[in-house]
Structure 1
Amino acid sequence: MLSAVSRPYIAASVPVLREHGVTITLCFYRRLFAAHPELKNIFNMPNQESGIQQQALASAIFAYAANIDHPDALAPVISRIAHKHVSLGIKAEHYPIVGKHLLDAIAEVLGAAATPALLAAWSEAYGMLADALIAAERALYQAHGVEPGEYRSVTVVRKQKESETVTSFYLQATDGAVLPSFQPGQYISVAVDVAELSLRQLRQYSLSDAPGNGHWRISVKREEGSPAGLVSNLLHDQYREGDVLWVSPPCGDFVMSTETADTPLVLISAGVGVTPMMSMLQGSLQQHPDRPVNFLYATLDGRHHPLKRELDRLLLQHGRMQSYVAYERPAANDCVPQDYQQQGHLRLATVPDALLPQNAAYFLCGPAPFMHAQHQALLARGVAERQIRQEVFGPSLLGHLQ
């Protein structure tokens, strides 16, 4: 609990962070990388260049300050950040480094307004957050049986094109060991050496297959012309069957483990957001074959529909499963109802009621505007907030607290 002495200073910081947050985070990263250039191997440098990371950190600091007396609101965010940090190999010794440069950045940007009392309050607040994250991450590292920053070597045993832009990579342990199990919906970090940056870069990819199949599978989307697709495009272009990758343990708490077997499951996704949903779908069908599962998906057209053959096969095999697909701009050879059922963006208001039962557990994954639209549509249909879970991409882990 934040001390009574510090609380008013943190509360007073909220409007300041609204105004100066991005300036503070720009200063922070400049200081951090100047003093510790090796940390560039952990951070997403294209996001640094575009300003996405700075914006996200500013939002996170603001959200933390605004919610510091609401531990129930912060707890799920702490969990998600801890999982992300474990996938990146963050260590306890990184936290004092970050804290020092964050406080120095606040002092530099705010100048005389950054009084010793204000900086002491932020030191206390940051310390609370660091302690919570370190404890959560320590527990996750211990559960995985790995040291912080320890990655395992895997071999690409199969590479399969799934759509115009998505390719799957099937991975097995290079040493022949059995890969650890995972919970459907989790992801791994993949480490790739990027020659043009002279850095190792880490990216997170959802596991797109069910556990227990003797391999891990990631399905990676090519992002042409986008700095955000730097690592994904290298995987597409340079990695072949037989090549070796270094990967983290499975992480992420966007999982369905808390749901009961008799609760209907509704999986709603768009684009490459289909990948964790396919894992959840297959996991549910394996573990609870009698559980009703409705799979709703939106994409551009049939050529951009990854894992479609796999979905069609599962539909034929499982009578308790239904699917509903929206193609934004169907191609000439895309047919209704065999390939898709709705043209344009996915509109839940026109989806048959049987596919959206009131008592279901709902999972959303896709671009942020898509998830927001579906979330609002579900609430409008009377689905309770507690029934809806959604994945959070990239650095925007604290944005929903604002």
Structure 2
Amino acid sequence: MTTEQKELIKATIPILQAGGEALTAHFYNRMFTHNPELKNVFNMGNQANGRQKTALANAVLAYAENIDNPGVLIGALKSMGTKHRSLNIQPEQYQIVGNHLIHSIAEVVGEGATPEILEAWTAAYNELAEIMIAIEKEMYAENDAKPGAWNGWRKFVIRNIVAESEEVKSFYLYPEDGHPIADYKAGQFVSVQVYVPELDLLQPRQYSLSSAFNPEYYRISVKKEPGMEGNPSGMVSQTLHAKNEGDIVMLSAPAGLFHLQQDDKKPLVLISGGIGLTPMLSMLETNKANRGQNKNVWIHGCRNHSVHAFKTQVEQLKSEIPLETYTFYDSVTNYDNGSNQVIAGQVDLEKCKEAILLEEANYYICGPELFIKTQYKALINLNVNKENIFYEEFGPNVINLN
């Protein structure tokens, strides 16, 4: 890009700040009208609830604001790239997206979108696309080199379904072809693709792997989301909950940047809300052999005991590793007071700060957007170094805390 083009991009920042979501909403509507096949690639639930347009608007604005030095966005780009790799995104799809984005700028901005501005944004997008394609090419190659790995989609058989709570079921997924499967780092996810009859579409979703690696199968644990009439949110989880043992689903190879290092022996503080406990359980199970005498703290919050998954498994781990647990229920009953050590209310790190302020500890947070923001702020207020705080946001990346 030329210096003049970069200045034109920066001149559009006020427009993006004021109307970025209107632009991205128009973009998605335009793209799905002209290329309806892409509805099988995108999460239509996030389209309906608006999270995808918000995430894209934030990304476009961040790129414009950092057009002089896009390298500062490399962390966010890699996070996007690992999801793209899990969805088998290909270079030619960037051309489709770019075409609709530039046309959307012209159609939404109107006369303000001069030929020079459109040319500048075309150059900016092509530069970004080249960066993303290079990142993802490296990720595809790295995945290809792993024993048992594959790129694209692969058939898996649901061999076992276990109810973990009133809302959560675990699915044990075995490769239909009987060939080996790839190892993964604790905390990573797989993309699952199922046909949703209500939408007449294939739909992908990312689900954290919820156990230590087993060379025979992958385990995911899925909360049944209620969704709303006319809103595709929750339809994939409902489709999965309606599956039977013996049914087939499609999986991509494990991916994700939120994970423990395999040889990490630092104390762990794992903070989860709701179904956000799934990658945390994988972390505990995976590293229980090399936890040594380092302390581990498990902090979990959910609505009540009936929706609290994996209670028994976590209690069992307390007999195998140095593990201290704190459980918060929004609603506490006489049953909870009599049989469980639970704390009433939402997760409050002040109530267990003596336990979690450990030397050289790493802190992992997973849950809904507001939960992550609240716990991150609480850790910062307790003087935890932000470089020791890691978080996983389910869905499009709209949080930027580090």
**Runs of 4 or more off by more than 6 Å in structure 1?**
146-149
| Equivalent AA in structure 2 for residue 271 of structure 1 | G
Query: Which residue is 2:378 aligned to?
Result: 377
Tell me if the contact between 1:88 and 1:149 (Cα under 8 Å) persists in the aligned partners.
Answer: no
Matched residue SS, 1:351: helix
* Cα distance between partner residues in 2 of 1:258 and 1:72: 28
Query: Which residue is 1:365 aligned to?
Result: 366
Query: Which residue is 1:172 aligned to?
Result: 174
Tell me if the contact between 2:187 and 2:282 (Cα under 8 Å) persists in the aligned partners.
Answer: yes
Matched residue SS, 2:326: strand
Q: Alpha-carbon deviation of 1:88?
A: 1.3
1:255 aligns with 2:256: no
* Cα distance between partner residues in 2 of 1:201 and 1:298: 29
Matched residue SS, 2:131: helix
Instruction: Select 1:280's aligned residue among 258, 283, 288.
Output: 283
Instruction: Select 1:228's aligned residue among 214, 230, 233.
Output: 233
Tell me if the contact between 1:90 and 1:149 (Cα under 8 Å) persists in the aligned partners.
Answer: no
Query: Which residue is 1:5 aligned to?
Result: 4
Tell me if the contact between 1:285 and 1:291 (Cα under 8 Å) persists in the aligned partners.
Answer: no
Q: Alpha-carbon deviation of 1:97?
A: 0.9
Q: Alpha-carbon deviation of 1:278?
A: 0.5
Change (3 A) 1:306 1:213: farther
Instruction: Select 1:245's aligned residue among 243, 249, 255.
Output: 249
* Cα distance between partner residues in 1 of 2:139 and 2:221: 25
Q: Alpha-carbon deviation of 1:324?
A: 1.2
Matched residue SS, 2:206: strand
1:302 aligns with 2:305: yes
Report the RMSD for the aligned CA atoms in angstroms.
2.0
Tell me the number of residue pairs that the alignment of Structure 1 and Structure 2 aligns.
Answer: 396
- Normalising by structure 1, report the TM-score: 0.93
* Cα distance between partner residues in 2 of 1:152 and 1:267: 32
Tell me if the contact between 2:31 and 2:100 (Cα under 8 Å) persists in the aligned partners.
Answer: yes
Matched residue SS, 1:306: coil
Q: Alpha-carbon deviation of 1:228?
A: 1.4
For residues 346-368 of structure 1, the C-alpha deviation after alignment (integer angstroms, 9 at most, x for no partner) is 11112141333242111100011
| Equivalent AA in structure 2 for residue 157 of structure 1 | R
Tell me if the contact between 1:163 and 1:303 (Cα under 8 Å) persists in the aligned partners.
Answer: yes
* Cα distance between partner residues in 1 of 2:67 and 2:333: 50
Deviates more, 1:137-146 or 1:83-92: 137-146
Tell me if the contact between 2:172 and 2:218 (Cα under 8 Å) persists in the aligned partners.
Answer: yes
Tell me if the contact between 2:190 and 2:254 (Cα under 8 Å) persists in the aligned partners.
Answer: yes
Query: Which residue is 2:341 aligned to?
Result: 340
Query: Which residue is 2:400 aligned to?
Result: 400
* Cα distance between partner residues in 2 of 1:224 and 1:195: 16
Deviates more, 1:265-274 or 1:283-292: 283-292
Superposed counterparts of 1:139-158, under 5 Å:
139-145=138-144, 150-158=152-160
Query: Which residue is 2:211 aligned to?
Result: 209
Instruction: Select 1:219's aligned residue among 204, 218, 221.
Output: 221
Change (3 A) 1:122 1:142: same
* Cα distance between partner residues in 2 of 1:272 and 1:111: 44
| Equivalent AA in structure 2 for residue 151 of structure 1 | W
Change (3 A) 1:207 1:356: same
Query: Which residue is 1:67 aligned to?
Result: 66
* Cα distance between partner residues in 1 of 2:398 and 2:335: 42
Q: Alpha-carbon deviation of 1:48?
A: 2.1
For residues 298-335 of structure 1, the C-alpha deviation after alignment (integer angstroms, 9 at most, x for no partner) is 111111111111111111222x2221111111233113
Query: Which residue is 1:81 aligned to?
Result: 80
| Equivalent AA in structure 2 for residue 240 of structure 1 | N
For residues 63-101 of structure 1, the C-alpha deviation after alignment (integer angstroms, 9 at most, x for no partner) is 221233344531110111001111111101100110011
Change (3 A) 1:58 1:15: same
Gapped runs of 5+ residues in structure 2?
Answer: none
Superposed counterparts of 1:175-190, under 5 Å:
175-190=177-192
Tell me if the contact between 1:326 and 1:340 (Cα under 8 Å) persists in the aligned partners.
Answer: no
Tell me if the contact between 2:140 and 2:151 (Cα under 8 Å) persists in the aligned partners.
Answer: no
Gapped runs of 5+ residues in structure 1?
Answer: none
Identical residues among aligned pairs (%): 39
Instruction: Select 1:267's aligned residue among 255, 267, 270.
Output: 270
- Normalising by structure 2, report the TM-score: 0.93
Q: Alpha-carbon deviation of 1:401?
A: 7.4
1:193 aligns with 2:195: yes
Change (3 A) 1:277 1:70: farther
Q: Alpha-carbon deviation of 1:394?
A: 1.1
Tell me if the contact between 2:303 and 2:329 (Cα under 8 Å) persists in the aligned partners.
Answer: yes
Tell me if the contact between 2:86 and 2:152 (Cα under 8 Å) persists in the aligned partners.
Answer: no
Tell me if the contact between 1:298 and 1:327 (Cα under 8 Å) persists in the aligned partners.
Answer: yes
